[in-house]
Amino acid sequence: MNKVILCGRFTRDPESRMTSASMEVSRFSLACPSDFVNKEGQRETEFINCVAFGRTAQTLNKYCTKGSMILAQGRIRNSSYDAQDGTKRYTTDVVIDNFEFVSGSNRNTSPNANHAPSYNSAPANNYSAPSFNTNMQTTDISEDPYKEFSDETNISSDEFPF
- Taken in order of first residue, the domains within the chain and their CATH numbers are 1-104 (2.40.50.140)
> What pLDDT sits at residue 103?
75
7 — pLDDT class (breaks 50, 70, 90): very high
Q: pLDDT tens across 74-110, in order? A: 999 999 989 999 999 999 999 999 999 997 545 544 3
pTM beyond 0.75: the answer is no
25 contacts 51 by C-beta, under 8 angstroms: yes
> What pLDDT sits at residue 121?
34
Measured CA to CA, the distance from residue 86 to residue 116 in angstroms comes to 45
Smallest Cα–Cα separation from 10: which of 78, 63, 55? Answer: 63
Run of H or E including 35: strand 24-37
Q: 97 phi and psi, to 5 degrees?
A: -90, -40
